[in-house]
A and B are shown apart, each in its own frame.
Chain A
Amino acid sequence: MPGPTPDVDGDDTPANDDPDGGVRIDMISGARMEGLTGMEKIRLILDGVRDGNIVILEEGLSPDEESKLIEVTMTEISPDDFTGIEIETYPKAEAGDQSFLDKLMGRESTQKLTVIGPANRIETLHKDENLISTLVSRK
C-alpha cells in the first residue's frame, strides 16, 4: 500500500545530502504510486528531481499524467535554478494486447520503466526499444 504522503523517504532530511556529492536514485514501485492521484504523482516526481535526485518509476505514468507532468514542469522552470527535466521511457510497444473493453473504458496499459532527472544532470547517450543508456553527472 502506498504511504499517506508523497514523501519518498518519509523523513525530513534534505534529499541528496551525501557529503561526497553522490547521486541519489529513488526507485518507486508501482504499488507505491498506485494509491496516489495524478497530481500527487507529479509532485512526488518533481520534488525529487528538483532536489537533484534521479527518479525511476517501475510502471511509469499514463499519457494524461505525462502531459500534465510537462505542463507543471514548465510552470516551475526558473533561470539559474531549475531548467526542467529529462525523462526517458522505452518507446511504446504496439498496444495489441489491450482488450476492446479496456479501450472503450479508457483503461491504458502504462507499465513502462521510466527514468526522470534534472535536465542539467542527466543526458541520454543511447535509446532504442530495449535499452536506455544515460549519463548522470554530479552537481
Chain B
Amino acid sequence: MGLLTNLRDSISRVTDGLFAADDPKRIGIYGPPNAGKTTLANRIARDWTGDAVGPESHIPHETRRARRKEGVEIERNGRTVTIDIVDTPGVTTKVDYKEFLDHDMEKDDAVRRSREATEGVAEAMHWLREDVDGVIYVLDSTTDPFTQVNTMLIGIIESQDLPALILANKTDLPGSDVQQIANAFPQHETIPLSALEGDNMDEVYTKIAEYFG
C-alpha cells in the first residue's frame, strides 16, 4: 500500500512539473530568525514591483505570518521569470517570551509576540511541506551555519526535491564568512549578498531565474 502510494506520489510530482511549467512558481524564503529574509524579500519586491513585502526589524520574529507577494517578474538575459515570493517567519524549535523582554517589551506584549511567533513557525513548516515550489534559504554569514535548524530544514527541503538556492547574507558586516556556509552545505551553491546594501543582487537575480524559471 505504502509502496503504491509512494509510486503514485512520485509520478504525480513528475507530471505536475511537466504540465505546470508556465505557472508562476511559489518561492519560499526560509531560514533562521534574523537572517535577513524580510530585508531580502523587500529588496526583490522593491526592485521589480516597487512595493515592499513587510516590516524589517532587528528583533527576532518580526515576521510572524507568511506573506506572499504575487507576480514578481524578474528579467534576466532577455527573458522574464515570474515568481510569487513567500516571506516566512524564521524557523526555530524554541520560543521563550523572556527573550523579548530584553528588547524593552512589557511581559504582555512579549507573551503575545511569542505566541504569534510559534503560530508563524508552524505555518512556515506547513507551507514548506505543502505549498512552495522552490526555496531561497537565507543565512546570516556572520553566524555559525552548523545549527540543527539549518541541518533539519535543508534535509526537509532536499527530501521534497525542491530546488534550493542558499544565500549568505550580511556580507557588509565585519565577521562575514561566506566560505563557512559553503563548507556547511557543499551539495548546494552558495551565493554571497548584502540584502540591506543591495550588494551582488545581479548575481542573485541571475540565479533565481536559473533555479526557478
List the interface of chain A (C-beta within 8 A of B).
62-64, 66-68, 70-71, 73-75, 77, 79, 83-89, 91-92, 94, 104-108, 119-120, 124, 127-128
Nearest residue, chain B, Cβ from A124: B148
Q: How many Å lie between the Cα of A107 and that of B3 in the bound state?
A: 9
- Give the top 8 A-B pairs by smallest Cβ distance, nearest first: A84-B94, A119-B94, A63-B159, A74-B122, A74-B118, A83-B96, A63-B156, A71-B125
Distance of B151 from chain A, by nearest CB (Å)? 5
What residues of chain A lie closer than 8 Å to B122, measured between beta carbons? Answer: 70-71, 74-75
* B92 at interface by CB-CB < 8 Å: yes
A-B CB contacts (within 8 Å), total count:
92
- With A74-B119, A77-B95, A86-B93 already in contact, 6 other A-B pairs whose C-beta atoms are closer than 8 Å: A67-B152, A70-B93, A83-B94, A91-B184, A105-B3, A127-B148
Instruction: Please list 22 pairs of residues, one from A and one from B, whose beta carbons are closer than 8 Å in the complex, sorted by A's number.
Output: A63-B156, A63-B160, A66-B152, A67-B156, A70-B93, A73-B93, A74-B95, A74-B121, A74-B122, A74-B125, A79-B111, A83-B94, A87-B93, A89-B148, A91-B151, A92-B151, A104-B7, A104-B10, A105-B3, A108-B159, A127-B146, A127-B148
Partner of B146, one of A74, A85, A86, A128: A128
Nearest residue, chain B, Cβ from A119: B94
Partner of A106, one of B6, B118, B184: B6
- A67–B94 contact, CB under 8 A? no
- A87–B96 contact, CB under 8 A? no
Q: How many Å lie between the Cα of A42 and that of B63 in the bound state?
A: 27
* B91 at interface by CB-CB < 8 Å: yes
What residues of chain A lie closer than 8 Å to B146, measured between beta carbons? Answer: 91, 127-128
Nearest residue, chain A, Cβ from B160: A63
- A77–B118 contact, CB under 8 A? yes
Distance of A118 from chain B, by nearest CB (Å)? 9
What residues of chain B lie closer than 8 Å to A66, measured between beta carbons? Answer: 152, 155-156
Chain B residues 94 to 128 lying within 8 A of chain A, measured CB to CB, are 94-97, 111, 114-115, 118-119, 121-122, 125-126, 128
Distance of A59 from chain B, by nearest CB (Å)? 15
Q: How many Å lie between the Cα of A107 and that of B173 in the bound state?
A: 42
Distance of A125 from chain B, by nearest CB (Å)? 13
Partner of A83, one of B95, B126, B159: B95
What residues of chain A lie closer than 8 Å to B152, measured between beta carbons? Answer: 63, 66-67, 70, 87, 89
Nearest residue, chain A, Cβ from B107: A79
- B6–A107 contact, CB under 8 A? yes
Q: How many Å lie between the Cα of A74 and that of B129 in the bound state?
A: 16
Partner of A84, one of B7, B95, B125, B160: B95
Q: How many Å lie between the Cα of A62 and that of B2 in the bound state?
A: 15
Partner of A92, one of B95, B111, B121, B155: B155
What residues of chain B lie closer than 8 Å to A83, measured between beta carbons? Answer: 94-96
Instruction: Using A71-B122, A88-B148 as known contacts, say yes or no to A120 and B6 having CB atoms under 8 A apart.
Output: no
* B158 at interface by CB-CB < 8 Å: yes
Partner of B159, one of A62, A75, A104, A119: A62
